[in-house]
Amino acid sequence: MSDFIFKASLRQDMGKGASRRLRREGLIPAVVYGAGQEAVSIVLNHNEALTVFRNEDVYSSIVTVEIDGKPESAILRDVQRHPYKPLLAHLDFLRVKAGEKLKSMVPVVLLNAEDAAGVKAGGVLTHALTAIEVECLPKDLPHAIEIDIIDLAVGAHITVADVKAPAGVEILTPAEDQVAGILAPRIADDAEEATDAAEATEEA
């Protein structure tokens, strides 16, 4: 069983009206699908689910969905939230099998960002890619992919091709995509001014 457990029960009533009623009662509609099985509609207690989301690793981890006490392994495929309130609106869970590969987005964590050579030299760090798509067995799914940028100089950048995949993990994101870079101060200022000018034009 995983470190993240969502306790749920089978959903009995369907439709938009029923979904609104569930949310008023402090429940979240959700669905579990995949692994060659039929999709199952479920409901979860909102506050209990929200507590699980306090740990950001839940987004890139194998979770356990207990449906009326019966556990199923899954990953979070989609999380819908209220447009302006701190509320969950709907969850999608994708079932996983121990011996079957899965695809998932994994967060990118930059190590030593404040101490990077280029940052100390006055450069501006840009973090262009915050997550990378991977394919692996459930047991090999990493919580994050860490990249040490201590030696990254001004004008240098890192692409997906430079990222070393953990054992058993295949990276699917295009190799040429830029993950991070360090801009020279003048270039960074010009880029910011161009953005400000574009925003001013749009407002006008």
Sign of the alpha-carbon dihedral angle for 45, 47, 50, 51: negative
**pLDDT at residue 19 in the model:** 75
Q: Which residues pair with 159 in a beta bridge?
A: 178
pLDDT of residue 24 exceeding 80: no
At which residue do the structure tokens 């000018």 appear? 197
pLDDT of residue 161 exceeding 80: yes
Over range 72-78, report the average pLDDT.
Answer: 93
pLDDT of residue 3 exceeding 90: no
Whether the CB-CB separation of 76 and 143 falls below 8 Å is answered with: no
> Per the confidence metrics, is the pTM higher than 0.85?
no
**pLDDT at residue 199 in the model:** 56
Of 135, 177, 136, which is closest to residue 158 (Cα–Cα)? 177
Regarding predicted confidence, which is higher, 39 or 2? 39
The beta strands (E) that lie in 112-168 are given as: 124-127, 131-136, 145-148, 157-159
- Which domains can be identified in the chain, with CATH numbers? 3-95 (2.40.240.10), 101-181 (2.170.120.20)
pLDDT band at 56 (very low <50, low <70, confident <90, very high): confident
Give residue-wise pLDDT tens across range 43-55. 999 999 999 998 9
Over range 127-151, report the average pLDDT.
Answer: 93
